[in-house]
Structure 1
């Protein structure tokens, strides 16, 4: 095992296929598909229950960020040997945690791990979502190590691979046996707690890698979780789980250690597990692997063992660093010690993306309806608040207008009792009497003035009127006009005819006729004297 570090450094890099002679190498484009974001509102609780301990975490979300409230791991006393007593102890611990950190808007997530869970990745042609689901189901049943009638699975496309004109999807499938799911859900059903999500331990743990100070989506990470009866080794590209391995080496190996050589034996067995998993991972993924292994779980407590592993085998073993401000804000000392021990539940309550969910379909539908109803109630509450605020605003505005109107009326009544108002009424009456006098003495135009005004507008410049005789009492021809037409070139008859036509068209006169006319030649042209008679308005 002394050559483990050297071997890891020389893990083979990706090898490009050589193009066939005469053909161009295919162009490969790999697009990482990010998971959909999830809107976390209210309290988020997560639990991981096994035969020896209960991991618990709580966080609160405002829709954009999650704030960690508490993380703890409660060990079941070894003195409780009866299974019912151990189950009762776990139920009490869970119930107390829910009573303290739960609330009306609470979602509970449950973490599954162990040999009854599995991860598989495979490629399928890019297709419509409905067709993709059927294809994934067929391929998952073929590849998963569990019988189809005892298997629950969920999946997520993680990459889109384009080669020339062909497109494929890389699918990550998470699966578990129905027996494990039913065992885990039974305890919460007894407590009357509705589980909203069932997550795979290694898959959800990758979400917490985002809180590393130097996190990169293009970096490969390795994490090892050493539990009491087994160890779980997981390899990630960014925060995406690519491979996991479950080994039989657990912390119970050190339970009765009597000398330091037990550390050596344990480290040797652990290194063998790591070597086996690394061999398989490197052969399957053909990607470069970092020598840094992040440790969480029970072993994270032992600084002595971590140092021995790093010195003995060349790997840089490191307890998972808890350093991101948003993860430990307000509880730096407490969370530094508890998060590395409860990494999966911490990742579950701080994750803001949609992950593969192993909850049975009927429970998913029930949770979906519950979420829709809860969202509807929340929307109605918000709408009622908005309408209430608007009503209060309008009521206040109406009250203000009424108060202003009342004040105005009061001021008007007060103004009527002042001397200014008395003087205003006196001036108003004086103005009214003067206006009445003006209306009575207003000159009414006479019939003669109206006829003269209209006649002055219609008489052309070539005609000069000499006399007009108006008899208002006459019923027929009451207006006689005499005049002379003077022109230089045009015939005076034409000018007189146009004048007569204009008089006929006017509403002031009717029965217009020429009584007499005499045409004469003058030195400069022509002149024609005429007499007209007509009936004008009276």
Structure 2
């Protein structure tokens, strides 16, 4: 393959192609061929057959040019693709592809298997392997659109190496030719970046706006082009499209040029409006950028007055492009046709720069299967040669062994050994072995089938009890006052046992949310709360700290309990952020949420603490390390089954965390339902007076000494708890426990055997 490359730009009006090579010094770009083929009709016209026009243009191109042995690059319109730019955090450079893949899933509004996408790091510096101040460009195009764009080339037998978005071709041209390769990214001051150029590539139907300083790039496609001037003339002056196109190109030679420009003025205004909107938007998202001069390319720029109008209304000086400064090739550059259409070749020039590996951007939207097929085809001769060499080696090996066999067989025949008979015996044994293996596989499948049926039959009964067992476990984890067993009536009397001394924890509701993978629940915020309930000091070690104080707050936006999407009662349960750190739950399971409150918040409470501390030392601690008595087996014939203590972890309850806690509401009070006003009491209305308003002598006087309060103090602490429940059915728990007991017994037997062996052989001890 030669070092020549073709850059082919399939425009709406014409096919532009440029062939370039690297000079002998491998630094200069030399143009040695070009072609410009204008279609009979513009591709966007209703009556135009797009596929046929492009096919005819490519056939004409191939009849006049040779592409065999050359690398071919083509461009696709900017509006057909998607461009996104984001700044990754300072990370190891090796991790950038993983970050980009995650970002691609967020930024590309289609499944990744339905698009062709590529990315490139732009600018930034690398310090000790970490990338700083970099930007990543993410470019994508729907797979079906890519195949539609390259189909004319495939039908014409042209093998493509690069597919690139047109705005990126323009960027490569501007950074290489107008900005001399662009500034060194490591020398750019982020607070004072170099001046950026505004590049307008005005096509037939659309205009690609590119803003770049040679390193950073931002682009947008504007749905206005040269054809809009033609349509405006055709509509307002009531003439055919062909005549309107001719009048547009020769406006200064028209009978009434002023009228022509007046008719086109609305399109001029639309151009300015759209460009100004784009510039304002860009400067709002990147306030450090300084907009410098304006560059205009594309044949529409030759429209009389367009350059001056845009320059005046945008307030930007225009860089006039009348040559490609860093492109050599006297024969091509001096050609009248090339010079006349010079502004239309910027895209083709940018494609050649990328194909020659001298451009800043090198992303490629050519589907991977094309690249793979090319590699296979290039390596096929070598593969065929390798296969031939292997076959030749096998042939020599066969001949060598056959010669040895021919010598050995007569020798064994003289001893009465028939080689073929021995081989037949071996084959017979092998057939018997194969038969037994097949029978074993059949029996194994039958066994597995019955095991699965038994598992389903046994598990069906177990599953009925799972939720009952869960509620019983939660109930057993709630604190119980020992005084309740002694006097159940007295402990309910707030005059005898105040609310703030009661150990009760009240539950408002219990909700659940199923997760296909519980790691999605185990976010960094949940992990942090787990560390708080696992590692925080107990009340006795608080050393003066407020025993009821809430744990340190999580960073704003990271607490899933504050997000309604994490409230199972609201249909949520989809946490924000990346899932779990190591050590958290994985696999399917349930997240159980308990919302409740307690009044055990007296400032004199020592045992158990108050507020958050009391919750952690009681309910949370029991959900972590507590036990619950449950039946060991299902009841049979009405007989009571044996009860066994199971740990919470054996039930599958793990990682209880407090996802929402509030300050203690110290002024909260509960109404005394038996309250009697502090006055004489004897009448049903509590007034202690007769009908004439005279106090009755037989009325009892209720004192106002605190023994008859209207409300009881009940400092209230509200909370929300979540924990992971990956249920284990009854027979699974029993099997795990029995296996552990067998392992323990086997270990004890082995240890006893070792002791006896050491006792019988004193020298072998220790």
Q: Please list, as runs of the form range in 1=range in 2, the aligned pairs for 1:242-321 lying within 5 A after superposition.
A: 242-255=217-230, 256-257=232-233, 259-321=260-322
Once the two structures are TM-superposed, the CA of residue 314 in structure 1 deviates from its matched residue by 2.8
CA contact (8 A) 1:54 1:74 kept: yes
Larger Rg: 1
Task: State yes or no: 1:152 paired with 2:116.
Answer: yes
CA contact (8 A) 2:294 2:311 kept: no
Task: State yes or no: 1:75 paired with 2:54.
Answer: no
Q: Please list, as runs of the form range in 1=range in 2, the aligned pairs for 1:103-502 lying within 5 A after superposition.
A: 103-125=67-89, 131-160=95-124, 167-168=131-132, 169-209=134-174, 210-212=176-178, 216-217=182-183, 218-238=194-214, 240=215, 242-255=217-230, 256-257=232-233, 259-324=260-325, 326-327=327-328, 329-334=330-335, 335-351=338-354, 352-353=356-357, 355-369=362-376
Q: Deviations over 1:263-314 (max 9, x none)?
A: 4322211111111111121122223333421111232222432123324443
CA contact (8 A) 1:306 1:318 kept: no
Q: Secondary structure at the match of 1:152?
A: strand
Q: Secondary structure at the match of 2:308?
A: helix
Distance 1:304 1:372 in 2: 56
C-alpha change, 1:46 and 1:205, in structure 2 (3 Å) is: same
Q: Deviations over 1:213-259 (max 9, x none)?
A: 77752442221112222211111121x45211111222122115352
Determine which structure has the larger strand proportion and give its number.
1
Once the two structures are TM-superposed, the CA of residue 151 in structure 1 deviates from its matched residue by 1.7
Q: Deviations over 1:20-40 (max 9, x none)?
A: xxxxxxxxxxxxxxxxxxxx9
Q: Secondary structure at the match of 2:341?
A: helix
Distance 1:155 1:224 in 2: 24
Once the two structures are TM-superposed, the CA of residue 321 in structure 1 deviates from its matched residue by 3.8
CA contact (8 A) 1:120 1:172 kept: yes
C-alpha change, 1:345 and 1:305, in structure 2 (3 Å) is: same
**Tell me, which stretches of 5 or more residues in structure 1 are unaligned?**
1-39, 377-538
Q: Deviations over 1:39-92 (max 9, x none)?
A: x94321122225543222222346724311334443322389787854233223
Q: Secondary structure at the match of 2:124?
A: strand
CA contact (8 A) 1:202 1:241 kept: no
CA contact (8 A) 2:29 2:326 kept: no
TM-score, normalised to structure 2, is 0.40
Aligned residues: 336
Task: State yes or no: 1:44 paired with 2:5.
Answer: yes
Distance 1:216 1:135 in 2: 27
**Tell me, which stretches of 5 or more residues in structure 2 are unaligned?**
184-193, 238-259, 384-766
**Which structure carries more relative contact order (alpha carbon 8 Å, separation 6+)?**
1
Q: Deviations over 1:404-439 (max 9, x none)?
A: xxxxxxxxxxxxxxxxxxxxxxxxxxxxxxxxxxxx
Q: Secondary structure at the match of 1:56?
A: strand
Q: Deviations over 1:372-428 (max 9, x none)?
A: 78999xxxxxxxxxxxxxxxxxxxxxxxxxxxxxxxxxxxxxxxxxxxxxxxxxxxx
CA contact (8 A) 2:195 2:292 kept: no
Once the two structures are TM-superposed, the CA of residue 198 in structure 1 deviates from its matched residue by 0.7
TM-score, normalised to structure 1, is 0.56
Once the two structures are TM-superposed, the CA of residue 179 in structure 1 deviates from its matched residue by 2.1
C-alpha change, 1:172 and 1:71, in structure 2 (3 Å) is: same
Once the two structures are TM-superposed, the CA of residue 344 in structure 1 deviates from its matched residue by 0.9
Distance 2:167 2:201 in 1: 9
Distance 2:288 2:153 in 1: 41
C-alpha change, 1:375 and 1:109, in structure 2 (3 Å) is: farther
CA contact (8 A) 1:140 1:173 kept: yes
Root-mean-square deviation (Å): 3.3
Q: Secondary structure at the match of 1:330?
A: helix
Task: State yes or no: 1:58 paired with 2:23.
Answer: no
C-alpha change, 1:125 and 1:215, in structure 2 (3 Å) is: closer
Say which of 96, 103, 112 aligns to 2:60.
Answer: 96
